[in-house]
Structure 1
């Protein structure tokens, strides 16, 4: 009896192939699609995506995502597309805007699962159906309306709510987060709690001078003063009131005079957005996603509402106190980029969210707001040479434990220089790329292969990063002049031993390279931050071309200009969005 049962189970497994469980019904109708549950895999931005597809009566009954590594927020695309497939009984559904790689991954996984039915996907009979959408009214009212659900918008919404205002946050993307979500989330803060532990001398005045110098003194000194004076207090607010967890180490970003940049948990903006979102929800902030603001409404000289589009329908959001524009920059708007800086053309990739299209700037300008510094567009020097994605494994540079070399194996710039200076230097090298070199001791100290394991593994698989036992072997992988690279490393080690970089005067501690293995990562610059935007005063109020305040209109974050001048220093963006987000939220809530 026992042997008979084993034979039955074996035959069942062979016949059902990848169908999970022989107990499930395995019949097929006219289309020939058998009932059952099938497993499939695809590759998203965060690596492998595994799904279980359940077919019953020739229809997609259910899709379960069993495994994924997608960033929170972007992972919502998996559920959204799965629900759409079930509702419409088809695999061919639209990708989620702003989450292309995640959407591609879930699509691949479901197609792989369906292929195991042994039937072509075109046999699925699509049906009229729609995943449930949020029901919307034609009109809403609140004390404060916030446009944009990135770091600045969420911060403004929280501060407004904490000051007693009712708040509705309107976000055009299907998830909150904006560029903050896909950033490293580091925050510059002078005289912070970690600097004290490391006996690093710093001050608000020193930070102020660094920001001005980093922006070639094209910044508005009054705005810079506000940023420098409030950054550390607001970092403590994030830590103590919002619940953001910061790591127990800092990074030394290029252009800063000292190491002062705090690092959130997992060195990712995900920590900031998750905690800010939770705090906003706790305070009763209402969030409307997939809703694109189209117009600022002004009556008797005051902004009193916005008009927005939700799935083709116009919705009006009335603001009793005012509207806060926090829609981000325009790094993903090619036409706007080229209009203001012809060099920022289609040949240059971007690290930005696809939602960074300058909508808020356009709407504010239509009301007469002054727009400044639009020609200043920054590139990040170490990005994926094929996609433009910012590479966080490259944070080993910010630990001061690596050098940048060219194809000829030579250093060509100070590794902790300003982003724009490094980027310009990279473009002038062979193939307009750079190669970041470091050793095992640097890897152990920075732990970038652990903190950013998925990215590390992906770079290795895509042959954009190599780990080798010798310098010669690592150089050969990328066709770099090995002898010259060995000479460069030896010269750098001499500088480290003597305590001074005689070629580029590299700031920070100089640490010599030791034993292998050795690592080399290939990268190139990509558009990262737009310094230009809406002109504001120190109260985060929008001002017009005559310098007069536009009543009821506030702005914060990358949508604003005149804070960073020609170039933003690394980690100053999180300080900016937090400081001016809070100011905008507070003032909009308490306006009389």
Structure 2
């Protein structure tokens, strides 16, 4: 679950700004909005009318509507009347509200990691103020009275276990460490918990799970083990893969039964897997995971310090004993009686690091990652002698927003096995349930480096992606990235796809479905024929999604140094680690990974001496 829509949004905001300006000045045809309370112009120095005014902006999740209350030239209150922002990112609006009221100014910083939400909210507030007819310059700024960032912090803290990174792996490790009797402090540089897990679909690969049993799907730990190894071209560490495969199901049950994560009553068939085994959290969103993990962490006594950037690991007597971090420009030392866990995620948003290890992953390739995925933990671990492995293996997700690089969850119709991928020429070019890296390379080789996902109304109804991901669906339609049309010809014409070839492709695929075998690409799973319109076509392209490389760990989640020995007091879990997925991670294996190894790291750190 942020990242990347700024260029498009800026242009939109400029247009909105021009429209607003014309509405205020053009021909005098439109009067300014009347405040809900009577204007009080009692000779105030600013001549800004008091009252309440409404305004709108465009956030990451769509329209943000606010109500601004002004009194005697001061910002008194800002209420959010309407928004569809993701939990966590929505907290940015309160942070900005506190800053605006505290400084009596709209010129406050956006919240790092929630840029689109921040921009949309600030635009909405300024849009409301425009309706006063006054100028922002008339607001008399005050000395900053403090924002939510300015909480008091001591110069030093001590806990049994200190964890860096409050994404899925960090929260899981924190809960397990606390459950094993340790006091825990969790550090997060972003203003909210979640990391990449928050903005993911949250799907979880679990062999032998309860839904498979209901559907009569045969699966096993050994089969999952082989799928992971094969998916990573056998470049994985077999011992780590064995642990992941053996404990994936029990950790999924832990999420369900102990953390109270709600899973939907259906599964997805991710590319590269041999069977359908991927559980889907409520609303097909990582928000369900992070909200429940965060709640559980609080219940078991985990202390979380947000906006706190870890800078350095402290080593004494060959053991990691503390983390030096920075909060609001102040250095703070977090001492760990038992152990430090790194759960800082990958480096998909660190262009310099990406190019260092894989020159092909340059600035031309967009990213699905959180802006916080900058490899901090990898760098800190390397500085104390940790071995790094598989750093060159960087995965792209094949079907992302061609303008922003964000994941397109409407595209989950592909994992339902109810769509095909075609090129500009209207032809299929790859198996739709292949590995992500294979599909991505195939897409890049097509005209324009993009693919077009095709499906019909029956597939839409069966998958329900337009309902599960309605905000994204509406956005894609609005931006012309997705077209809904009555005929194949009309849909194809929208993207200038060869309609006749596309019709032939559909007919051929329907024949394969009738016979039960894909003669061209041997597509796995059940083949479902397309029936009638409306028809849908979605344009997409690959974007950086997961970095397989990172810190070398053993099966107990201990960090290993370049001499092959354990670094005492240091553990790691999640995307910050390497050697689990090899050259390529299969879809939905990440959530299993962070949960399995997060639990192991938490338990072992709590028991460390």
| TM-score, normalised relative to structure 1 | 0.97
For residue 234 of structure 2, what is the aligned residue in structure 1? Answer: 217
Question: Is the 1:26–1:36 contact (alpha carbons within 8 Å) kept by the matching residues of 2?
Answer: no
Of residues 126, 131, 135 in structure 1, which corresponds to 2:147?
Answer: 131
Please report how far the alpha carbon of residue 131 of structure 1 lies from its aligned counterpart in structure 2 after TM superposition: 2.2
Q: Does 1:99 align with 2:114?
A: yes
**Which structure 2 segments of 5+ residues have no match?**
1-28
Question: Is the 2:39–2:49 contact (alpha carbons within 8 Å) kept by the matching residues of 1?
Answer: no
Of residues 227, 230, 233 in structure 1, which corresponds to 2:247?
Answer: 230
Of residues 223, 248, 265 in structure 2, which corresponds to 1:248?
Answer: 265
Question: Is the 1:406–1:434 contact (alpha carbons within 8 Å) kept by the matching residues of 2?
Answer: yes
For residue 461 of structure 2, what is the aligned residue in structure 1? Answer: 444
Q: Does 1:171 align with 2:195?
A: no
Alignment of 1:191-340 (within 5 A): 191-340=208-357
Distance 1:83 1:433 in 2: 43
Distance 1:315 1:191 in 2: 46
- Classify the secondary structure of the residue corresponding to 1:278: helix
Please provide the CA RMSD for this pair.
1.2
For residue 121 of structure 1, what is the aligned residue in structure 2? Answer: 136
- Classify the secondary structure of the residue corresponding to 1:41: strand
| CA distances 1:29-52 after superposition (whole Å, capped 9, x unpaired) | 232211110000001001110111
Alignment of 1:378-393 (within 5 A): 378-393=395-410
Distance 1:24 1:236 in 2: 59
Question: Is the 1:28–1:35 contact (alpha carbons within 8 Å) kept by the matching residues of 2?
Answer: no
Please report how far the alpha carbon of residue 23 of structure 1 lies from its aligned counterpart in structure 2 after TM superposition: 4.7
Please report how far the alpha carbon of residue 224 of structure 1 lies from its aligned counterpart in structure 2 after TM superposition: 0.1
Question: Is the 1:28–1:58 contact (alpha carbons within 8 Å) kept by the matching residues of 2?
Answer: no
Q: Does 1:349 align with 2:366?
A: yes
Distance 1:531 1:246 in 2: 26
For residue 559 of structure 1, what is the aligned residue in structure 2? Answer: 576
Distance 1:82 1:27 in 2: 26
Q: Does 1:401 align with 2:418?
A: yes
Alignment of 1:146-185 (within 5 A): 146-185=163-202
Distance 1:122 1:330 in 2: 41
- Classify the secondary structure of the residue corresponding to 1:169: strand
Structure 1 stretches of 4+ with a deviation exceeding 6 A read: none
The structure-2 alpha-carbon separation of the partners of 1:370 and 1:22, relative to structure 1 and needing over 3 Å to count, comes to: closer
**Which structure 1 segments of 5+ residues have no match?**
1-13
Alignment of 1:46-57 (within 5 A): 46-57=61-72
Question: Is the 1:39–1:52 contact (alpha carbons within 8 Å) kept by the matching residues of 2?
Answer: yes
| CA distances 1:446-479 after superposition (whole Å, capped 9, x unpaired) | 0000000000000000110000000000000111
Question: Is the 2:50–2:72 contact (alpha carbons within 8 Å) kept by the matching residues of 1?
Answer: yes
- Classify the secondary structure of the residue corresponding to 1:114: helix
- Classify the secondary structure of the residue corresponding to 1:85: helix
Distance 2:527 2:330 in 1: 59
Please report how far the alpha carbon of residue 122 of structure 1 lies from its aligned counterpart in structure 2 after TM superposition: 1.7
Report how many aligned residue pairs link the two structures.
Answer: 579
Q: Does 1:529 align with 2:529?
A: no
Distance 1:226 1:283 in 2: 26
- Classify the secondary structure of the residue corresponding to 1:381: strand
For residue 66 of structure 1, what is the aligned residue in structure 2? Answer: 81
Of residues 204, 207, 226 in structure 2, which corresponds to 1:187?
Answer: 204
